[in-house]
Amino acid sequence: MTEREKQLAAQAAAEAVTSGMVVGLGSGSTVAYLLPALAARRLEVTCVSTSPATADAATRLGLTVVPFTGAGAPERLDVAIDGADQVDPAGWLVKGGGGAHTREKIVAAAADRFIVIVSSNKLVARIAPPIPLELSPFGLAATLRRLQPVALRDAPESPDHGVIADYLGLVPDPGSVATRLSAAAGVVEHGLFEPGMVSEVVLGRGENVERFAPPSTALATEGTAMPDSPSTAARSADEIVTKLSPRSVADTVARLEAVVAEKGVKLFAEIDHSGEARTVGLELPETKVVIFGSPQAGTPVMQAAPLAALDLPLKVLVWADGEQTKVSYTSPAALGARYGLSDELAARLAAVDAVTDAAVAA
């Protein structure tokens, strides 16, 4: 399942790339799924890579890869996409399991947007060791003594000939540890990436794709905030759940409405955005919204939180994304967090999970 989650996250992130962009390609097993997804879109893009292995793989797939060394290299990137070893609720990342974190950080810093793609097992409640390090071979013994506890990694040198090691101390505050490591003579770079670098985390969870932004980014852009941990029930007030349907948009809508009827839930409306667009001479991929709910379930929610009426009845978006049909909605936990609902009241909205599961079932 982890590999499938990586693939889904990578495919979703590839959709953020458009022709004409300069794209930073990361390293590692998740990026291995990004490359074919990006190549399949046949866009006119220029790429830079954080590792020779990624550059070779991208070139074999037909992507244009240019050097990122020297004064003639691209001075800014439109987007960088890479994986991570750990992602905490504040948006701190640990990267560098493959020893390329120095280049990965340089590429991320050069990008207007840095998108992180991960499987659900990469979400952690707290950053923990090991923290990858790239060290200068000059004065290595003295550097190791100053950084204790630290261990050399049995791994090849970095792409820029640095020594790869791991800091093994506790990380009670990632910011303080990052400051200490950055200030240490002999440390070329460490694998802690601060939340301010991250534009978005694209997460594969089961067969679904979720998107989050670190709190600092979310406040600045009104985006979706990071989940607190892998097991946190109440997430950001704007969390969107997306599921893939094996059917066409029309058939998925029909199945969704049939399930709503089977469960005795009231169907309030079906809105055909793409159809309305055609009436004014505009084109929009198939996009329909199904609105349904139960006064018995929703009224107590609105009694407790009148503003919840803005999100009720429940709304499910069924839309065409290329050749895929997707079903998206705001999760009940997110609605609960948005309006400060008790767990009991938030549970009244959980019908949307079961209804959409049934609608996309094979």
CA torsion angle 9 240 84 7 (round to 10): -10
- Distance of alpha carbon 345 from alpha carbon 211, whole angstroms: 25
Residue written as tokens 């893939």? 244
- Distance of alpha carbon 115 from alpha carbon 200, whole angstroms: 5
- Distance of alpha carbon 62 from alpha carbon 59, whole angstroms: 5
For residue 104, indicate whether it is catalytic. yes
Q: Cβ distance 74 to 109 under 8 Å?
A: no
List of residues 6+ apart from 165 with CB closer than 8 A: 132, 133, 134, 135, 144, 147, 150, 151, 152, 153
The half-sphere exposure of 197 on its side-chain side, counting CA atoms within 13 A, is 22
Catalytic residue among 3, 15, 104, 207: 104
- Distance of alpha carbon 356 from alpha carbon 327, whole angstroms: 7
Residue written as tokens 């991250």? 198
Give the Å distances, CA to CA, from 36 to 10, 41, 253, 317. 9, 9, 31, 28
CA 123 to chain centre: 11
Annotated active-site positions, please?
104
